[in-house]
């Protein structure tokens, strides 16, 4: 049983979460101990594909992704970023909370992501079910929820990280489960400062 939230309420929740993550990244923390712990910032860029599927269509869009993140402690990090589709140019804004661990050079990541997408639409070559596709595209809303995994992520010297075949799997909040959102980054380059 799902609780249906109005889009205005979702927008307020999304704005609050964005503000929370931005303030968390900007405002320094103070500790009661005399030695302060420094948790690093990360900046990354990637290239991938976003695939949407529903009962009435399948759409894939290639694009680039730029993100900034901060480690909240040794294993937990928060990230905010933007994905921009190439044809057509349509953005995704997202926030992600991830857990990570380092085993030698291998640094796998598992997390949850939420965001606002303007990249979801279905088009077709024929007029069969065109009205249904258009109605579905307009009725789904902009906010989504997905998982995030980086199994093939490796960190090297000078804190340079390469990640291959990242997978995000989710759906939109409105009419939860009606569409499938599958995002994969073929390659991401991340630098820790």
SS3 assignment for 101-154? CCECCECCEEEEEEEEECCCCCCCCCCCCHHHHHHHHHHCCCEEEEEEEECEEE
* pLDDT for 34: 46
The reply to whether 46 falls in a domain is yes
Residue with structure tokens 């103070």? 30
* pLDDT for 134: 66
The reply to whether 87 falls in a domain is yes
Q: What is the CATH number of the domain that holds 152?
A: 2.40.160.20
Range of the domain at 56: 41-192
* pLDDT for 85: 86
* pLDDT for 150: 95
The reply to whether 75 falls in a domain is yes
User: How many domains would you assign to the chain?
Assistant: 1
Residue 176, SS3 per DSSP: coil
* pLDDT for 164: 96
The reply to whether 172 falls in a domain is yes
The reply to whether 12 falls in a domain is no
Distance of CA 90 to the CA centre of its chain: 15
How far apart CA 14 and CA 108 sit, in angstroms, is 27
User: By the 8 A CB rule, do 71 and 101 touch?
Assistant: no
Sign of the torsion formed by the C-alpha atoms of 178, 146, 29 and 44: negative
What is 1-44 written as a DSSP string?
------HHHHHHHHHHHHHHHHHHHHSPP--SSSSPP---EEEE
Low-confidence ranges of the chain (pLDDT < 70): 1-7, 9-10, 21-37, 54-57, 120-130, 132-139
The reply to whether 20 falls in a domain is no
The reply to whether 124 falls in a domain is yes
- Model's pTM, two decimal places? 0.73
């Amino acid at each position: 049983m799902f609780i249906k939230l109005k889009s205005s309420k979702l927008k307020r929740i999304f704005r609050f979460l964005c503000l929370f993550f931005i303030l968390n990244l900007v405002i320094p923390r103070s500790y009661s101990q005399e030695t302060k712990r420094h948790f690093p910032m990360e900046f990354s860029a990637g290239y991938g594909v976003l695939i949407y599927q529903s009962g009435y269509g399948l759409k894939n869009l290639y694009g680039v992704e730029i993100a900034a993140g901060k480690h909240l402690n040794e294993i937990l990090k928060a990230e905010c970023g933007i994905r921009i589709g190439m044809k057509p140019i349509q953005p995704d804004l997202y926030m992600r909370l991830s857990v990570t661990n380092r085993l030698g050079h291998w640094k796998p990541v598992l997390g949850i992501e939420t965001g606002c997408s303007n990249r979801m639409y279905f088009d077709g070559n024929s007029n069969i079910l065109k009205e249904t596709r258009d109605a579905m595209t307009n009725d789904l809303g902009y906010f989504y929820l997905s998982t995030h995994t980086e199994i093939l992520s490796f960190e090297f010297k000078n804190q340079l990280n390469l990640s291959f075949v990242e997978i995000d799997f989710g759906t939109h909040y409105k009419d939860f489960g009606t569409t499938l959102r599958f995002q994969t980054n073929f390659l991401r380059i991340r630098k820790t400062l």
